[in-house]
Amino acid sequence: MSRPGRLIVTLTLAAVAAPTLPAQGANELAQVCKTVGDAKIGQWASFDATSGSEGGKVRLAIIGSQRSGDTTLYWFEVNVAAKDPSHSGVLQLLAPSLSAGTAGVHSVILKWGAQPAVKVSGQMAAMLIQKTGQNNSVIDWAARCASARVVGRESVTVSGGAFQALHVTLDDGTDVWASREVPFGLVKLRGKDGELALTARGSDAKSSLTEKPLDMGGMMSKP
């Protein structure tokens, strides 16, 4: 997986990690974090992404669920469409929520560029995320949401609409503008690796994959 592609996906997951709210304080922040963690099958949000010299489109979505004992697990999908097709791909994570971090991921499906889609389960799923350049702290977004520092409420206009958003900063200096009106809470993100800006949102998401992934079980596979 090439660096430009990694940056866009990492930026996207950081965006999910980022959504948080300002002070009136802790109460409003808690409400936003709750919205961010409220998984609804079909919800999606798409973004314009800029990362260095390369731009692209990113869609974040919840595409399905399945039961594991008494627990409901959700399929979260990050779809990256970069200008260079070889930097494009789909990452799907099966987890109870993104707040569990890599330790909570049960399975990963990855398709990058022209390579076939592969599925890895169990402990190797977390390793595959790390192998593709993902950062554990950005996947554990719920914890980052709760610890964000509120700057204030601001008017933000992006191609996806105009919002009264909560401006917060994360411990790594990333600025996020978040709203409970938007799936995953994210309106805009600006970090050291680039920016994300909301373009559209909806509630009818389905998987972007058109092929059956090769099931690698607990084996490690190169993306």
- 26-81: per-residue pLDDT in tens? 777 777 778 777 778 999 999 998 876 677 898 989 999 999 899 999 999 989 88
67 or 112, greater pLDDT? 67
Pairing between β-strand 71-82 and β-strand 186-191 as defined by DSSP bridges:
unpaired
Query: C-alpha angle 210/211/214, rounded to 5°?
Result: 150
Whole-model pTM: value is 0.82
Ranking 79-93, 114-128, 135-149, 186-200 by mean pLDDT, the lowest is 135-149
- What count of other Cβ atoms lies within 10 Å of the Cβ of residue 189? 27
Q: Output the average pLDDT for the chain.
A: 79
Rg (CA), the chain: 16
Structural tokens at position 24: 């009136």
pLDDT confidence of residue 112: 85
- The residues, any chain, with a CB within 8 Å of residue 2's CB and separated by 6 or more, are 86, 87
222 pLDDT tier (thresholds 50, 70, 90): very low
Which domains are assigned to the chain? 3-206 (2.50.20.10)
Spell out the alpha helix ranges (H) of the chain: 3-17, 26-36, 123-131, 136-139, 141-147
Structural tokens at position 124: 């190797």
pLDDT digits (tens, 9 = 90+) for 119-150: 988 777 767 666 654 443 344 455 577 788 88
Question: What is the C-alpha to C-alpha distance for residues 59 and 61, in angstroms, rounded to an integer?
Answer: 6
User: What is the rounded end-to-end Cα distance, in angstroms, of the chain?
Assistant: 6
223 pLDDT tier (thresholds 50, 70, 90): very low
